[in-house]
């Protein structure tokens, strides 16, 4: 028992010694981002930037903004029941239909982030993912049938929508120095874009990686 007690004291002393001594007032991050929406088989790549203010050593208030581009297809089974009924009047039974589209997506969030600084070389964090998503889909019909379908879905050939999303996120910073780190972040969210067109909402996963710069006075 005495040996176990001594080991516990040593480990807790080591952990305290390894904690981060410098916590900057401000954090700035920019890097590559990837947005996956499996429901639509849509994979988009782009850029993300974040800025945060450390209120104290564990709480950050921040904002982020990202932009993505990608492409996929809208299938008949993705549409609302009302649109599927209209589609049945254009397409013979059993004929699969899909319309290619190009997508440009913007996301923005604001809120708190909780940091765990018990280790000197890595900072783990968790956060709610609450914000907005704006998407523009440009339909690309490639047959007479899909041209007729685009006239039904979006007469102008393009649709845009802005909706709130909610979810959760987290990740970690690998601390190269007290002013520089490499961040890896994950955010899993749900959003209901184009509810006049699509039968269901989608779950999306955002992955980001890039450098983080820290500056400002040490937060006590």
Contact between residue 206 and residue 66 where contact means Cβ atoms under 8 Å apart: yes
Q: Which tens digits make up the pLDDT trace of 120-165?
A: 999 999 999 999 999 999 999 888 888 888 887 888 889 999 999 9
pTM metric for this prediction: 0.86
| Surface-to-core class of residue 122, CB atoms within 10 Å of its CB (0-12 exposed, 13-18 middle, 19+ buried) | middle
Q: Which residues contact 93 (CB under 8 A, 6 or more apart)?
A: none
Residue reference for tokens 């006590």: 220
- Residue 192 backbone dihedrals phi, psi, to 5 degrees: -115, 75
Lowest mean pLDDT among 8-12, 40-44, 182-186, 208-212: 8-12
CATH of region 26-218, choose from 2.40.160.20, 3.20.20.70, 3.40.50.720, 3.40.50.300: 2.40.160.20
pLDDT in the model for residue 5: 40
Q: Which tens digits make up the pLDDT trace of 70-96?
A: 999 999 889 999 888 888 887 777 778
pLDDT averaged over the chain?
Answer: 89
Nearest to 87 by CA among 10, 5, 78: 78
Domain boundaries, the chain: 26-218
């Amino acid at each position: 028992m005495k040996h176990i007690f001594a080991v516990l004291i040593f480990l807790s002393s080591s952990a305290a010694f390894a904690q981060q001594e410098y916590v900057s007032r401000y954090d700035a991050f920019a890097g590559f981002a990837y947005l996956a929406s499996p429901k639509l088989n849509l994979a988009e790549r782009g850029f993300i930037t974040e800025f945060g203010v450390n209120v104290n050593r564990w709480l950050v208030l921040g904002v982020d903004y990202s932009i993505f581009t990608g492409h996929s297809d809208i299938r008949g089974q993705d549409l609302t029941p009302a649109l599927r009924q209209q589609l049945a009047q254009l397409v013979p039974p059993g004929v699969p239909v899909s319309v290619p589209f190009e997508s440009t997506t913007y996301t923005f969030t604001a809120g708190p982030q909780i940091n765990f600084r018990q280790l000197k070389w890595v900072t783990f964090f968790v956060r709610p993912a609450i914000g907005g998503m704006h998407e523009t889909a440009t339909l690309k019909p490639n047959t007479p049938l899909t041209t007729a379908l685009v006239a039904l879905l979006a007469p102008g050939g393009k649709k845009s929508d802005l909706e709130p999303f909610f979810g959760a996120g987290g990740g970690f910073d690998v601390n190269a120095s007290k002013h520089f780190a490499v961040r890896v972040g994950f955010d899993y969210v749900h959003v209901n874009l184009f509810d006049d067109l699509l039968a269901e909402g989608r779950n999306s996963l955002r992955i980001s990686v890039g450098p983080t710069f820290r500056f400002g006075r040490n937060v006590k």
